Structure 1
Amino acid sequence: MSVAKVIELTAASPVSVEDAVKTGLKKCSESVKNIRGAWVNEVKVVTSGDGTITEWRVNLRITFVVE
Structure 2
Amino acid sequence: MSVYKIIEIVGTSAKSWEDAAQVALTTSAKSLEDLRVAEVVKQDVTVENGKITLFRVRLNISFKYREGV
Q: Bin the TM-score by the shorter chain.
A: over 0.9
User: 2:12: which partner in 1?
Assistant: 12
User: 1:62: which partner in 2?
Assistant: 61
Q: How many residues align?
A: 66
Residue identity in the other structure for 1:35: L
TM-score normalized with structure 2 length: 0.92
Residues 19-38 of structure 1 deviation map (CA, whole Å, 9 limit, x = unaligned): 00000000000000000010
In the alignment, structure 1 segments of 5+ residues that lack a partner are none
User: 1:34: which partner in 2?
Assistant: 34
Give the fraction of aligned pairs with identical amino acids, expressed as a percent.
38
TM-score normalized with structure 1 length: 0.95
User: 1:25: which partner in 2?
Assistant: 25
In angstroms, what is the RMSD of aligned CA positions?
A: 0.6
In the alignment, structure 2 segments of 5+ residues that lack a partner are none
Q: CA deviation at 1:66?
A: 1.2
